[in-house]
Structure formats: structure tokens, C-alpha cells
């Protein structure tokens, strides 16, 4: 059995650590933020992710999962070290590799035996080799000659479904430079290998590109359907039926063809900008991806413009009260990173409207991300309180809770009856359409 060290307990690192322990490995999860580690030791998760708490408790209890703050202990006690630190975007869209660099430096300083160093963070092509050089430099300084291997093993988990995605992934991609490293990685993922999950063994660079290309492709798909939805609105067509008709073609597939207010989250906005930047540094231009980025910005803008224009027909927008249902970038997460709600709320407030908001999990983060306009936003305890005195409901994120809301109760407390369904949750619900002045996205 291999001892696994995971450096960085963000979304990817933490879920990976818990799942590796569930797969039967001895796992150390390490983070420099000691408060986070202390909480994790007590079973307190820093994120909301369905199913994670149960697995965390179980594996901490069994002794397979431990939490450390000491880098050297983690490195010395691990055979396989996963780098799962953040790679936030810099001003110019390129990925900031300072944390990856710092960890690689520490590995070079503390490494005491053969290690497989695995990159889980989404990093620009060439980072594997860059990590290799930094580790080697550290060993050279210490006058040591210790063998090590670098592996790129991108993560494809979705927030809100992270546990399921890690337990039953569509594929495992391993970019490696040696057969020895590939064999060790197969042992690490023994459970998946036995379960016949497809494994793809590639070079480091190819694995690094697979992650960016996958995320960029999905972002393009969403921007594409959002653009078609704008046209569907104009010509009187129905985007859900269009998407269904398109998706019946196996070459297209129906997945990721749901029109909405634009994509958000910690991956698509960051990774599309990063791949465009990587292309620039190599003298290329990603025309399709850059168009998807622009279309996503336009989509958010279109949503706010439509709301402002429509509500203004009845109430001056400066007097309008607009209710937001759902703030997180998608359901089943508290993550607000690049959530479309942020840009849309800002535009509505800029126009003069006041906001009443409710989200099952996203409000804590929304409060600090929207601190500068806090005077214009009232956070409410449920969807009904949020609707009180409102001119319009804006369904921003498709939490199940909203699907089951008693809409007659909602309507009874509203002042006007606009309903902007930015996720097309109620698009086929005749009752809702009769009850409210309803509009969806492309239907
Ligand atoms: C994504 C990738 O799916 C995952 O493989 C990768 O590892 C990380 O990035 P995540 O960001 O967690 O995962 O969420 P995802 O479910 O992919 O949704 C991303 C955004 O696209 C959300 O804002 C979502 O609402 C939006 N989306 C998704 C659409 O607007 N329409 C769709 O059809 C699908």
C-alpha cells in the first residue's frame, strides 16, 4: 500500500484525500492554513459538498486519513505526493503558479527517498517539467541524487457532485515519463482500475492539455447554446427543444446544452482565459475559446438588460425590488467564484434596483463578495421571505428547493408578478406561466 500526501486542501485536494483514503490508502492531507487543518481534524469541512462529511468522518476514525500542517513531515512520509494547490488567474488571465513553485521547492528541500510527484492542479502545459527542474535544483543544492518521477493526473470532478465523480470517474488520465510511475499510479487507483474505469496513459504535456481542452470545450458548448437561446427568443423558437433535437445526434450529445445566465465557477472562467493565454505565449490565438469567453460576458449582460427593461415597463427601476433565488454558481455548492449572480446583481443595483436574495448555501460567501453594495441587498431566510414586496423573482440557480416552492404562497407576498427563470426550470409549467409574467432563456 502506498502512503499518499496531498498538499493543498481546497476543493480538489480535500475531496481527493478523502476518496484516496476511502480507496484504502494511508493519506496525509496537508495545508499551511492551520485553522483549516484544526477544523478538519474535528470533522468540520470548509466547503459544502454533499456526501463528503460522512466519508471524512469514517476515514478519520479508521486512522487512514490524517491532517498535517508540516510540509517536511508530509513529504518525508509520502510515497506519492499530490500537488493540489490553487492556480488562481493573474490580471492578464494567465495562471499564477507561485503556490506550485513553492511546493516544488519544499519537495526538493525535504525529499528523502523516491517519490512520485503528481500534479492535480490545473496548470499550464510545461508545468510538469518546470516542477521537475525546481525539485532537481533542490536536490542538487543538498548534494543528493534521489530518483523521482513527475506525473500529470488532471481532475475532472464537478462541484456538488465531487464525491460521485471521484468514486466513479469517466476516465483517469495519467501523463507520465516513466513506466515505473505509471505502474505506481495504477496501484494508487487500483479500485478504479479493477472496476474497469478507462485509463489513458499519455505524455505530461498531453495530460496537461486534456484538462484545459475539456473545460474549454464544455465552456464553448454552453456559450454556443446560450447564443442560440438569444436567437430562439427573437424568432420564437424553443431552446429546450432545439437542444433536445441537437442532442439526439450522438456526435453532439445532449449534455451541457442547457441555456442559462452564463457559466461560472472556479474552472470554466479561469481555464478558458488560461488556455487563451497559453496560446498567446506560443504565438497562437484560440479564436473559438476567446469567442466563448466574450459570449459568456454578453450572456450575463443580456440577462440584466432584459430584467431591467421588462420591469421598467411597470415600475421605475429605482423603485423596483428584485428577488434573487440562488446565488452560488450552481446548485449543491456554496461556491460563489465567478457566479453569474455577482455580475447580474451588480448590474441591477447599478441601474437602481434593490435586491432581496436567498440561497440555500451561497449567502455567506455572497455577503463578502458583494460587501461594497451591501446596502442594496437584503439576505433572507428562505425563498418566501425573499419574495416579500418584490416586483420580480429571478431564479438564478436551479436548487431543487425552488422547484418545489409553493408558488401561490410566493405570488401572494409579491407586489408585481414578473418571473425571470434564468435556468428554464418552469418552462414547461403551464400553471406558472399563467400565474406570473414569465420569461425563460430562449423559451
Ligand atoms: C467543471 C467541469 O464540469 C469539471 O469537469 C471540471 O473538473 C471543473 O469544472 P464545475 O465548475 O464544478 O465543473 O461545474 P459544472 O457542472 O461543469 O458547471 C459549470 C458552469 O456551467 C455552471 O455555472 C453551470 O451552471 C454552467 N452550465 C453547465 C450551464 O450553464 N449549462 C450547462 O448545460 C452545464
**In the chain, where the domains are located:** 3-202, 218-439
Q: Does the annotation place 156 within a ligand binding site? A: yes
Please tell me the predicted confidence (pLDDT) of residue 226: 98
Q: Which long-range contacts (CB under 8 A, 24 or more apart) does 425-428 make?
A: 425/395, 425/398, 426/395, 427/238, 427/240, 428/240
Q: Cα angle vertex 341, ends 226, 231, to 5°?
A: 20
Q: Which CATH architecture has domain 218-439?
A: 3-Layer(aba) Sandwich (3.40)
CA dihedral 352, 356, 362, 365 (to 10 degrees): 50
Is the shortest distance between the CB of 259 and ligand 1 below 6 Å?
no
* Residue 72 in marked binding region: no
Could you give phi then psi for residue 428, rounded to 5 degrees? Answer: -105, 10
Strand pairing class (437-439; 418-421): parallel
pLDDT at 119 over 90: yes
Ligand 1 atom, smallest distance to 214 CA: 5
Contact 332 CB / ligand 1 (< 6 Å): no
Task: Indicate whether residue 399 lines ligand 1 (CB < 6 A).
Answer: no
> Which cell goes with 169?
470517474
Q: Please, which residues have CB within 8 angstroms of residue 310's CB and are 6 or more apart in sequence?
A: 392, 418, 420, 437, 439
330 labelled as ligand-binding? yes
Task: Say if ligand 1 is within 6 A of residue 193 CB.
Answer: no
Among 49, 168, 263, residue to substitute to test ligand 1 (most atoms within 8 Å of Cβ): 263
What was the pLDDT predicted at 390? 98
Find out whether the beta carbon of 263 lies less than 6 Å from any atom of ligand 1.
Answer: yes
Residue 354, beta-bridge partner list: 321
Pairwise CA distance, residues 420 & 141, whole Å: 62
Give residue for cell 451591501: 374
Q: What is the pTM of this model?
A: 0.95
- Looking at the CA of residue 159, tell me the nearest atom of ligand 1: 12
Residues 6+ apart with CB under 8 A from 55: 18, 19, 21, 22, 163
**Which pLDDT belongs to residue 437?**
98
Query: What is the model's pLDDT at position 122?
Result: 87
Q: Ligand 1: distance of its center to the CA of 263 in Å?
A: 7
Q: Find the 148 Cα to ligand 1 centroid distance in Å.
A: 35
24 annotated as ligand-binding: no
Give the pLDDT score at 414. Answer: 98
Per-residue model confidence as pLDDT tens digits over 130-177: 999 999 999 999 999 999 999 999 999 999 999 999 999 999 999 999
Confirm whether residue 10 is marked as ligand binding.
no
DSSP secondary structure of 328-373 = SSSTT----TT-HHHHHHHHHHHTT-EEEEE-TTTHHHHHHHTGGG
What are phi and psi for residue 168, nearest 5 degrees? -135, 70
First to last CA, the chain: 54
The residue behind cell 507520465 is 176
Protein residue whose Cα sits closest to atom 33 of ligand 1:
256
Residue of 13, 87, 329 with the most ligand 1 atoms within 8 Å of its CB, for mutation? 329
Q: Which cell numbers in the block locate residue 248?
A: 439526439
Specify the residue with its C-alpha closest to ligand 1, atom 5. 156
Ligand 1 centroid distance, CA of 244 (Å)? 19
Using the 8-state DSSP alphabet, how is residue 376 labeled? G
CA of residue 439 to ligand 1 center, whole Å: 23
User: Is the CB of 164 within 6 Å of ligand 1?
Assistant: no
Q: DSSP assignment, residue 322? A: E
What pLDDT is stored for residue 89 in this prediction? Answer: 87
d(CA 315, ligand 1 centre) in Å: 35
Is the pLDDT at 41 greater than 80? The verdict is yes
Give DSSP secondary structure letters for 408-427.
Answer: HHHHHH-SS-EEEETT-TTT
Cell of 119: 500534479
For 395-425, how does the pLDDT look when each residue is reduced to its tens digit (9 = 90+)?
999 999 999 999 999 999 999 999 999 999 9
Beta bridge partners of 69: none
CATH no., domain 3-202: 3.40.50.720
Q: Contact 260/442 with Cβ under 8 angstroms?
A: no
Q: For helices 268-281 and 287-312, what crossing angle results, to 10°?
A: 140
Q: Is 90 exposed, middle or buried (0-12, 13-18, 19+ CB in 10 A)?
A: middle
218 Cα: distance to centroid of ligand 1 (angstroms): 8
Question: Looking at the annotation, which residues are catalytic?
Answer: 267
List phi, psi (to 5°) of 81.
Answer: -115, 120
Q: Measured between alpha carbons, how far is 260 from 143 in angstroms, rounded to an integer?
A: 57
Which residue is it, cell 465567478? Answer: 338
Q: Are 265 and 335 in contact (CB under 8 A)?
A: yes
What CA dihedral angle connects 274, 197, 255 and 335, to 10 degrees?
A: -50
Domains 3-202 and 218-439 share a fold: yes
Q: Is 257 annotated as a binding residue?
A: yes
User: Is the C-beta atom of 268 inside 6 A of ligand 1?
Assistant: yes
- Helix, strand, coil distribution of the chain in percent, nearest 5: 50, 15, 35
277-299 pLDDT, tens digit per residue, is: 999 999 999 999 999 999 999 99
**DSSP-derived secondary structure letter, 154:** -
Q: Is the Cβ–Cβ distance between 121 and 205 less than 8 Å?
A: no
ipTM reported for the complex surpasses 0.85? yes
H/E/C letters for each residue in 245-298?
HHHCCCCCCCCCCCCCCCCCCCCHHHHHHHHHHHHHHCCCCCHHHHHHHHHHHH
Ligand 1 near 11 CB (within 6 A): no
Residue 327, pLDDT > 70, answer yes
- Shortest-distance Cα residue to atom 10 of ligand 1: 158
158 lines ligand 1 (CB under 6 A): yes
Question: What is the rounded average pLDDT for all residues in the chain?
Answer: 96
Q: b or e along 162-190 (b: 16 or more beta carbons within 10 Å of the residue's beta carbon)?
A: bbebbeebeebbbbbbeeebbebbeebbe
With a 6 A CB cut-off, is 264 part of the ligand 1 pocket?
yes
Q: Given the CA of residue 156, which atom of ligand 1 is nearest to it?
A: 7
Q: Is the pLDDT of residue 1 over 80?
A: no
Residue carrying C-alpha cell 513529504: 75
Residues in the chain: 443
Tell me if 260 CB under 6 Å of ligand 1: yes
Q: How close is the Cα of 22 to the center of ligand 1, in Å?
A: 25
231-246 residue pLDDT tens: 999 999 999 999 999 9
Q: Is 294 annotated as a binding residue?
A: no
The cell for 229 is: 437561446
Centre of ligand 1 to C-alpha 429, Å, is 25
Query: Which residue in the block uniquely carries the three cell numbers 498531453?
Result: 206
Amino acid at each position: 500500500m502506498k502512503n499518499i500526501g496531498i498538499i493543498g486542501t481546497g476543493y480538489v485536494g480535500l475531496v481527493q484525500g478523502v476518496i484516496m483514503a476511502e480507496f484504502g490508502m494511508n493519506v496525509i492531507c496537508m495545508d499551511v492554513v492551520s485553522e483549516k487543518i484544526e477544523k478538519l481534524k474535528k470533522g468540520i469541512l470548509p466547503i459544502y459538498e454533499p456526501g463528503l462529511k460522512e466519508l471524512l468522518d469514517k476515514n478519520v476514525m479508521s486512522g487512514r486519513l490524517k491532517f498535517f500542517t508540516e510540509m517536511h513531515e508530509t513529504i518525508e512520509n509520502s510515497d506519492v505526493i499530490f500537488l493540489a494547490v490553487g492556480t488562481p488567474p493573474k490580471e492578464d488571465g494567465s495562471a499564477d503558479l507561485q503556490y506550485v513553485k513553492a511546493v516544488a521547492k519544499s519537495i526538493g528541500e525535504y525529499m528523502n527517498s523516491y517519490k512520485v510527484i503528481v500534479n492535480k492542479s490545473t496548470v499550464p502545459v510545461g508545468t510538469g517539467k518546470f516542477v521537475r527542474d525546481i525539485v532537481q535544483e533542490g536536490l542538487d543544492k543538498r548534494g543528493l541524487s534521489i530518483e523521482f518521477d513527475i506525473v500529470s493526473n488532471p481532475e475532472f470532478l464537478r462541484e456538488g457532485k465531487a464525491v460521485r465523480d471521484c468514486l466513479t470517474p469517466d476516465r483517469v488520465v495519467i501523463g507520465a515519463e516513466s513506466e515505473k510511475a505509471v505502474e505506481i499510479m495504477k496501484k494508487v487507483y487500483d479500485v478504479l482500475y479493477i472496476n474497469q474505469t478507462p485509463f489513458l496513459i499519455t505524455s505530461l504535456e498531453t495530460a496537461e492539455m486534456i484538462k484545459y481542452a475539456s473545460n474549454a470545450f464544455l465552456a464553448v458548448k454552453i456559450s454556443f447554446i446560450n447564443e442560440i437561446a438569444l436567437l430562439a427568443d427573437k424568432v420564437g423558437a424553443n431552446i429546450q427543444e432545439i437542444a433536445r433535437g441537437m442532442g439526439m445526434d450522438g456526435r453532439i450529445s445532449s449534455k451541457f446544452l442547457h441555456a442559462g445566465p452564463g457559466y461560472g465557477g472556479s474552472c470554466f472562467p479561469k481555464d478558458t482565459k488560461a488556455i487563451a493565454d497559453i496560446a498567446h505565449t506560443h504565438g497562437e490565438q484560440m479564436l473559438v475559446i476567446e469567442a466563448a469567453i466574450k459570449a459568456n460576458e454578453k450572456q450575463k449582460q443580456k440577462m440584466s438588460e432584459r430584467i431591467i427593461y421588462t420591469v421598467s415597463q411597470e415600475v421605475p427601476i429605482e423603485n423596483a425590488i428584485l428577488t434573487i433565488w440562488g446565488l452560488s454558481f450552481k446548485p449543491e455548492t456554496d461556491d460563489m467564484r465567478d457566479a453569474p449572480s455577482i455580475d447580474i446583481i451588480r448590474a441591477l443595483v447599478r441601474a437602481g434596483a434593490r435586491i432581496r436574495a436567498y440561497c440555500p448555501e451561497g449567502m455567506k460567501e455572497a455577503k463578502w463578495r458583494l460587501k461594497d453594495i451591501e446596502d442594496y441587498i437584503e439576505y433572507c431566510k428562505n425563498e418566501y421571505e425573499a419574495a416579500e414586496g418584490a416586483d420580480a423573482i429571478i431564479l438564478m440557480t436551479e436548487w431543487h428547493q425552488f422547484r418545489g416552492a409553493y408558488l401561490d404562497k410566493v405570488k401572494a407576498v409579491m407586489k408585481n408578478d414578473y418571473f425571470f427563470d434564468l435556468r428554464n426550470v418552469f418552462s414547461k409549467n403551464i400553471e406558472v406561466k399563467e400565474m406570473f409574467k414569465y420569461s425563460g432563456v430562449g423559451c
